[in-house]
Copies of this chain bind each other. A is one copy, B any other.
Amino acid sequence: MQISKGVEWAAHAAVLLSALPTGRGLKAEALARYHSVPGPYMAKQMQALSKAGIVQTARGKHGGYRLARPAGEITLWDIMTAIEGSKSAFTCTEIRQNGPCGATPEQCRKKCAIAAAFHAAEVAFRESLQAISLVEIAAGVAADSPRKHLRNVGAWLEKEAVAIG
């Protein structure tokens, strides 16, 4: 059971975008440079976030990304499913209906106890990520960073942010 590396990248990019003042955006290229990761792969994550309605690109020549809604309304679950899809991790193939003692479809209207237990575990996982928005993450990152580091980030954003409509 693996979550793709793109989720870490997309989450960090979204946290950085949450620090931008209104009317400003960052190009995918700048996001890649900030995180020192390959441009095309970062661009792919940003397109997935855009498709999921988490970020939007401004019209105009600069084409910067900004968050599409307030940071407090974007959870880590939104970001993960934008990149990974929201298919269940556990797939039940109804194996209980197979073989010499297979249950009939009528006996299988309720989810199998095994599938139900995995479903409950996935709900717990989802609810945990849904409880954390970009606001909490940004606050956590800021609390862990020395003031000098935050000043560097601020200066970098000032230099790289593009005006968006």
Contact = CB atoms under 8 A, between A and B. Distances in A.
A73 interface: no
B107 A37 contact: no
A15 interface: yes
Contacts of A15: 114
Contacts of A145: 103, 107
A96 B138 CA distance: 13
Given A35-B98, A98-B37, A3 B113 contact: no
A70 to B, nearest CB: 18
A12 B112 CA distance: 10
Contacts of A99: 33-36
B35 A95 contact: yes
A98 B36 contact: yes
A76 B120 CA distance: 12
A128 B121 contact: yes
Contacts of A115: 8
Contacts of A102: 36
Nearest to A130: B121
A34 to B, nearest CB: 5
B90 A149 contact: no
Contact of A156 (B95, B100, B132, B136): B100
A103 B137 contact: no
Given A117-B129, A120-B128, 8 more contacts: A1-B1, A7-B90, A8-B93, A8-B114, A15-B114, A36-B98, A101-B156, A103-B145
24 contacts: A1-B1, A1-B2, A1-B89, A2-B89, A2-B91, A3-B90, A3-B118, A5-B93, A8-B92, A11-B114, A33-B99, A33-B100, A34-B99, A76-B121, A107-B144, A107-B146, A112-B141, A113-B139, A114-B137, A117-B128, A117-B136, A120-B128, A124-B124, A124-B128
